[in-house]
Amino acid sequence: MSDSYTKDPAALLDYSWDWSLWLAEVDDMISSATVTVPEGLTAVGSPVVGDTMVTQRVSGGIVDVAYTLVCQITTVGGLIDERSIYLTIAER
């Protein structure tokens, strides 16, 4: 799964972090997650958290600006990790 995307400023889209490979290595599941969305983008609703995946719906953005979305999870076993998704805003 790629971690870089291009988004139209008018689009309302879901972005997902797939933790399945790492979670399989540590034999654990996601207990909770937070997604940090930078100023200029809007997180629409709360992140949807599954056993191995976190999805956040995002709107907004300014053309030609790059943003970093950060997902931090805590596992059932108490591990904490984070991953980033990079969004570049462009008219599409």
Q: Show the domain range for 84.
A: 4-89
- As a three-state string, the secondary structure of 31-54 is EEEEEECCCCEEEEEEEEECCCEE
Number of independent structural domains in the chain: 1
Closest CA to 34 of 81, 73, 68: 73
- 19-38 average pLDDT score: 97
Which domain CATH number covers 46?
Answer: 2.60.40
What average pLDDT is seen over the chain? 96
- 46-79 residue pLDDT tens: 999 999 999 999 999 999 999 999 999 999 999 9
* 18 within 8 A of 73, measured Cβ to Cβ: no
Distance CA(50)–CA(37), nearest Å, equals 19
How buried is residue 33: exposed, middle or buried, by Cβ count under 10 Å (0-12/13-18/19+)? buried
